[in-house]
């Protein structure tokens, strides 16, 4: 099948690839561009481990057509840190023991980042709602919620998004 | 969040602990939060092939023919694998420790025994091409009768699921159809009991549902070895299993892993490693085989369903005087680790309670279900659920508070367990007391004063006379309901075996190395007759019966003896509290 070109900014850098018309963004990021931050968990939009930001909106990359991302800004957990300096959310996840196996962590961080961008001072219910599409099978939700609230309290949403 | 109850067992606690009770950062946390942690699938290879399986649509069927010719010609397909391509196409996981017979093919040859069983593997340039070629494989089946219920499977005339075990039960040591425990005389105790209460508990299979599905990437290396990125929970277990199935020395396999995206027991079966490595060997290219979510949920081995019957003899004052447990593990079509689960279950009976007469018969039954495997305390969790439900029902029958009922019956230090080991370092009484306090559950002064350190030992340390029966030899269980055959005298710790166990050679037709049977009784003198007036026989040298010890408070520790704090907590090596 003929491949189509697609070009976008990934974590601030200009990237391009050739994709099947029906190819999804997750495959392009992982297999095409080597960004293994977003994971494959279900391929049907139920687990949230593939969550990325498309123009600051959280999206499930397994359900996003790669060609629909032409000209967009894509951000993944791999690009959250500023060089050696962790994003406040990353630091809060570390401080609050908010990861066990780590497989859901990139998606959780991305969903939390989207929340704090829009709502720097979320309530606990708003945090729960924001990560309700992200499954953690080690069932460590409480530390994750605590980490997001701690990052918000520290001004994470104000400083950078 | 974490609370240390330092007043409990204060005399035996060290304060020189560096880690316990403190928060310590995980070493893998920086990788997790920066998304730099590499899971098995987070590796790029040029020329990667994708492996997809053709699975059985039937629960039980004979394979009449397999036609892969159209699939082999399909676009992008590089290789199609069938059972004949697998060098050692019969394995059982615990054959690595000579436990059980090889009973499971990697790709089915003559029969399929559960819905979803792998039959053909397709390797293609892309996942889409592999999936398209999968539809071109023609497999003709003759349907066979099925059995899905563990007790039905053990009845005469039931369909034979797995010909390696024609009775539909796992054969322990090739001689026994179940795991058996006998301690005292449960029948006599039931006859004396004020109440006899029996209930049936049925568990469901549970899928681990890890967020990362099972999978493997294998690639030929330059030095004749194969690099294998694996999701396995037991990396070396998987390495040896793979080496056996693809028939290469294990030093040709370089397994990389240990970073598991959620396992919970569902990643110990080597579901993907052998075929992936075989694909890489036969094509000379890197191969990736990852279960999709549907496969993971339907065909990834679940926690096995268990059916448990608990029958208890209860006295009006709340003491449990007899407990008989009959349990059936649903192994599904193949053994995997269920044989081990039944042993764990037997070791866990009768729960953390001191009961003078205990018996259990724990079966592993084969059915036409997806094979089950390890999951978080398998063999223990389910029987615990059954036992604790039963304890609530017994408390109600005895008209007692359920918390106090547990404190009354809990093991104390020095009690003899039905496995003929003395209970040490017990703490259920204290756990229940703290739980009651946390839940604002009022308990009596007497229950509050109870302690694991008092009330045990003495008569409770004795091994009672124990009648034996024939049930437990190979043969349909229903044909062996005879009366007791002999009675072991009080104090007997082991049942002498009449015959040496046999291990069958498993690998490459070579005989297995001769094993020293761990369960053979060592030579020893006859046990002394039971006499409650004297101390227990010297079979447990490490144990000091509470009856002969001074009453509380606990005697002071022996004068300074240099030892590490943790040693005193070991129940494995027989050391005990000061």
Q: Tell me whether residues B35 and A136 touch, CB distance under 8 A.
A: no
Domain boundary among B244, B274, B299: B299
Cβ-based contacts of A77 with chain B (< 8 Å):
34-35
Q: Is residue B234 one of the residues assigned to a domain?
A: yes
In a domain, B341, yes or no: yes
Same domain as B125, residue B57: yes
The CATH number given to whatever domain includes residue A18 is 3.10.20.30
Over residues B345-372, mean pLDDT: 96
Closest CA to B299 of B328, B272, B273: B272
In a domain, B230, yes or no: yes
B47 contact A CB<8A: no
Question: B226-246, pLDDT tens digit by residue?
Answer: 999 999 999 999 999 999 999
The verdict on A99 and A146 lying in the same domain is yes
Total count of domains within chain B? 2
Position B560 pLDDT exceeds 80:
no
Residue A118 CB coordination number (10 Å)? 13
Question: Does residue B256 share a domain with residue B115?
Answer: yes
Please tell me whether residues B294 and B220 are part of one structural domain.
yes
Is the pLDDT assigned to residue B511 strictly greater than 60? no
Which residues of B, range 165-224, sit inside 8 Å of A by Cβ? 208-213
In sequence order, what E strands does B221-305 have?
226-230, 253-256, 287-290
Contact check, Cβ <8 Å, B293/A43: yes
Are residues A109 and A60 both part of a single domain? no
Both B215 and B200 in one domain: the answer is no
Residue B188 in tokens: 């006599």
Tens-digit pLDDT profile for residues B165-176: 999 999 988 778
The closest CB to that of A94, out of B33, B39, B208, belongs to: B33
Cβ atoms of residues B248 and B232 within 8 Å: no
pTM greater than 0.90: no
B260–A contact, CB cutoff 8 A: yes
User: Based on the domain organization, do A71 and A25 belong to the same domain?
Assistant: yes
User: Using a CB-CB distance cutoff of 8 angstroms, which residues of chain A are in contact with residue B42?
Assistant: 30, 36
User: Strand B287-290 relative to strand B466-468: parallel, antiparallel, unpaired?
Assistant: unpaired
Pairwise CA distance, residues B512 & B508, whole Å: 10
Distance CA B250, CA B340 (A): 25
Residue B492's pLDDT is: 83
pLDDT value at position B473? 64
Cβ–Cβ gap A86/B35 under 8 Å? no
Same domain, A21 and A59: yes
Cβ–Cβ contact A94 with B under 8 A: yes
- How crowded is the C-beta side of B285, counted as CA atoms within 13 Å? 16
Residues B466 and B418: beta-carbon distance below 8 Å: no
Q: Looking at CA atoms only, how far is residue B35 from chain A in angstroms? A: 5
Kindly state whether B2 is in contact with chain A, defined as any CB-CB distance less than 8 angstroms. no
Measured CA to CA, the distance from residue B548 to residue B250 in angstroms comes to 55
Q: Are A72 and A110 in a shared domain?
A: no
Instruction: Say yes or no: B181 and B279 in one domain.
Output: no
Is B154 in the same domain as B139?
Answer: no
Same domain assignment for residues B280 and B178: no
CA distance A4 to chain B (A): 17
Phi, psi of B290 (to 5 degrees): -125, 130
Chain B hits for A53, CB-CB cut-off 8 Å, are none
More confident residue, B345 or A160: B345
| Average pLDDT over every residue of B294-298 | 96
Q: What pLDDT sits at residue B346? A: 96
> A136: domain range?
88-159
Same domain flag for A69 and A109: no
Task: Let me know if residue B556 belongs to a domain.
Answer: no
Residue B137 inside a domain? The answer is yes
Nearest to A49 by CA among B267, B212, B208: B212
Q: CB of B230 within 8 A of CB of B216?
A: yes
Q: What is the pLDDT of residue B150?
A: 97
Whether A58 has its CB under 8 Å from any CB of chain B: the answer is no
Tokens matching residue B146: 């099925």
Regarding whether A93 and A131 lie in a shared domain, the answer is yes
At B273, which CATH number? 3.90.1170.50
Whether B425 maps to a domain, the answer reads yes
Question: Which of B327, B363, B366 is CA-nearest to residue B160?
Answer: B366
CB contact under 8 A, B41 and A40: yes
Identity of the residue in B33, B38, B212 whose CB atom sits nearest the CB atom of A36? B38
Quick: pLDDT tens for B415-465: 999 999 999 999 999 999 999 999 999 999 999 999 999 999 999 999 999
Average pLDDT across chain B, whole number: 86
Among candidates A43, A80, A103 on the partner chain, residue whose Cβ is nearest the Cβ of B292: A43
A68 and A94 inside one domain:
no
The half-sphere exposure of B433 on its side-chain side, counting CA atoms within 13 A, is 18
Q: Which of A79, A106, A122 is the last residue of a domain?
A: A79
Whether B33 sits inside 8 A of A43 (CB atoms) is: no
Q: Six-digit token pair at B267?
A: 């990643």
Residue with tokens 């339907």: B298
Same domain, B114 and B156: no
- Which of B33, B42, B260 shows the shortest C-beta gap to A101? B260
CB–CB contact B211 A99 (8 Å): no
Q: Which residues of A touch B262 (CB under 8 A)?
A: 101, 103, 137-138
Over residues A44-48, the mean pLDDT reads: 96
Work out the burial of residue B288: count CB atoms within 10 Å of its CB; fewer than 13 is exposed, 13-18 middle, 19 or more buried. buried
The last residue of a domain, from among B466, B483, B508: B466
- Closest partner CB to B39 (pick from A81, A103, A135): A103
Q: What is the domain-level CATH number for residue A111?
A: 1.10.150.120
**Residue B367 in domain:** yes
Q: Among the three residues B431, B466, B501, which one is the final residue of a domain in this structure?
A: B466
The ipTM value here is 0.96
Tell me the Cα Rg of chain A: 15
Average pLDDT score over residue span B296-304 = 95
Share above pLDDT 70 across residues of chain B, in percent, rounded to a whole number: 82
Question: Closest Cα of chain B to A148: distance in Å?
Answer: 13
Domain span including residue B121: 49-144+208-299
In chain B, what percentage of residues exceed pLDDT 90?
Answer: 75
Same domain, B98 and B244: yes
Question: Domain check: are B75 and B122 in the same one?
Answer: yes
DSSP secondary structure, B539-576, as one string: T-TT---GGGSPPSSPPPPPS-----GGGGG-SSS---
B339, B452: one domain: yes
A80–chain B Cβ distance below 8 A for any pair: yes
Residue B280 carries which DSSP code? Answer: H
Q: Which of A35, A62, A79 is the last residue of a domain?
A: A79
- Give me the pLDDT at residue B486, please: 77
Whether residue A24 is found in the same domain as residue A54: yes
CB within 8 Å: A86 and B28:
no
User: What is the residue-wise DSSP string for A10-33?
Assistant: ETTEEEEEEE-TT-BHHHIIIIIT
Measured CA angle at A58 (ends A53, A61), to 5 deg: 75
- Whether residues A20 and A57 share a domain: the answer is yes
A-B C-beta contacts closer than 8 Å:
96
Domain edge (last residue) among A29, A48, A79:
A79
- For residues B79-91, give the mean pLDDT: 98
- Residues B242 and B321 occupy one common structural domain: no
**Chain B closest-CA separation from residue A71 CA (Å):** 24
CATH number of the domain where residue B182 is located: 3.30.365.10
Q: Considering only the beta carbons, identify the residue of A40, A43, A93 that sits closest to B33.
A: A93
A35 with A60, same domain: the answer is yes
CB B230 within 8 A of CB B275: no
The verdict on B30 touching A (C-beta cutoff 8 Å) is yes
Contact (CB<8Å) A78/B42: no
Q: d(Cα B381, Cα B348) in Å, to the nearest integer?
A: 10
- Find the Cα–Cα–Cα–Cα dihedral B376, B380, B382, B385, rounded to 10°: -110
Residues A93 and A152 in one domain: yes
**pLDDT of B83 strictly over 50:** yes
User: What is the number of structural domains in chain A?
Assistant: 2
Is B433 part of any domain?
A: yes
First to last CA, chain B: 30
Give the tens place of pLDDT for each residue, B153-205: 999 999 999 999 999 999 988 778 899 999 999 999 999 999 999 999 999 99
């Amino acid at each position: 099948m003929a491949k189509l070109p697609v070009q976008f900014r990934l974590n601030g850098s200009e990237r391009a690839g050739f994709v099947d018309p029906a190819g999804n963004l997750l495959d392009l990021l992982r297999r095409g561009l080597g960004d293994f931050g977003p994971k494959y968990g279900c391929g049907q939009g139920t687990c949230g481990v593939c969550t990325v930001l498309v123009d600051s909106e959280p999206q499930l990359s397994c359900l996003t057509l790669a060609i629909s991302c032409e000209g967009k800004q894509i951000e993944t957990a791999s690009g959250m840190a500023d060089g050696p300096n962790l994003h406040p959310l990353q630091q809060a996840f570390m401080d609050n023991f908010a990861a066990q196996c780590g497989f859901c962590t990139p998606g959780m961080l991305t969903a939390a980042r989207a929340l704090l961008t829009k709502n720097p001072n979320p309530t606990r219910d708003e945090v729960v709602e924001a990560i309700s599409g992200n499954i953690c099978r080690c069932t460590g939700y409480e530390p994750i919620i605590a980490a997001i609230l701690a990052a918000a309290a520290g001004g994470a949403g104000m400083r950078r998004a | 969040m974490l609370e240390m109850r330092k007043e409990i067992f204060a005399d035996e606690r060290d304060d020189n602990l560096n880690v316990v009770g403190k928060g310590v950062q995980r070493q893998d946390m920086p990788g997790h939060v920066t998304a730099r942690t590499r899971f098995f699938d987070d590796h790029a290879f040029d020329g990667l092939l994708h492996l997809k399986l053709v699975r059985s649509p039937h629960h039980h069927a004979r394979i009449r023919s397999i036609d892969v010719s159209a699939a082999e010609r399909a676009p992008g397909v590089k290789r199609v694998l069938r059972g004949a391509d697998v060098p050692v196409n019969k394995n059982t996981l615990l054959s690595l420790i000579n436990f059980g017979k090889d009973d499971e093919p990697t790709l089915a040859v003559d029969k399929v025994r559960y819905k979803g069983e792998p039959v053909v593997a397709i390797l293609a340039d892309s996942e889409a091409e592999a999936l398209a070629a999968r539809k071109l494989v023609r497999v003709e089946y003759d349907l066979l009768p099925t059995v899905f219920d563990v007790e039905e499977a053990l009845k005469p005339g039931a369909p034979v699921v797995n010909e390696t075990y024609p009775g539909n039960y796992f054969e322990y040591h090739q001689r026994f159809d179940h795991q058996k425990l006998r301690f005292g005389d449960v029948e006599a105790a039931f006859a004396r009991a004020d109440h006899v209460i029996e209930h049936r508990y049925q568990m469901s299979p549970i899928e681990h549902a890890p967020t990362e599905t099972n999978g493997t990437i294998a690639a030929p290396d330059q030095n004749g070895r194969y690099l294998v990125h694996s999701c396995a929970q037991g990396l070396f277990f998987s390495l040896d299993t793979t080496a056996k199935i693809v028939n290469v020395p294990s030093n040709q396999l370089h397994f990389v892993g240990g970073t598991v995206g959620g396992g919970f027991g569902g990643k110990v079966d080597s579901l993907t490693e052998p075929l992936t490595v075989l694909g890489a060997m036969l094509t000379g290219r890197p191969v990736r085989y990852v279960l999709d979510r549907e496969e993971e949920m339907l065909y990834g081995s679940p926690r096995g369903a268990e059916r448990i019957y608990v029958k208890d003899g209860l006295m009006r004052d709340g003491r449990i005087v007899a407990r008989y447990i009959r349990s059936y593990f649903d192994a599904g079509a193949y053994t995997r680790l269920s044989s081990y689960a039944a042993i764990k279950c037997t070791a866990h009976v009768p729960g953390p309670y001191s009961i003078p007469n205990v018996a259990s018969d724990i079966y592993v039954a084969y059915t036409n279900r997806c094979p089950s495997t390890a999951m978080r305390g398998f063999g223990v969790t389910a029987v615990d659920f059954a036992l604790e439900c039963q304890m609530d029902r017994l408390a109600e029958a005895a008209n007692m508070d359920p918390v106090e009922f547990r404190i009354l019956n809990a093991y104390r230090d020095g009690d003899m367990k039905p496995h003929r080991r003395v209970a040490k370092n017990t703490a259920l009484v204290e756990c229940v007391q703290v739980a009651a306090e946390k839940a604002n559950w009022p308990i009596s002064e007497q229950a509050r004063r109870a302690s694991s350190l008092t009330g045990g030992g003495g008569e409770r340390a004795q091994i009672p006379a124990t009648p034996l029966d024939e049930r437990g030899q190979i043969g349909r269980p229903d044909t062996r309901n005879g009366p007791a055959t002999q009675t072991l005298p009080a104090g007997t710790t082991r049942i002498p075996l009449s015959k040496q166990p046999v291990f069958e050679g498993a690998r490459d037709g070579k005989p297995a190395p001769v094993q020293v049977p761990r369960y053979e009784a060592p030579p020893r003198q006859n046990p002394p007759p039971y006499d409650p007036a004297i101390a227990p026989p010297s079979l447990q040298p490490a144990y000091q019966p509470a009856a002969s010890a001074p009453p509380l408070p606990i005697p002071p520790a022996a004068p300074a003896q240099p030892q590490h704090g943790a040693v005193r907590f070991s129940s494995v090596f027989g050391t005990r509290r000061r």
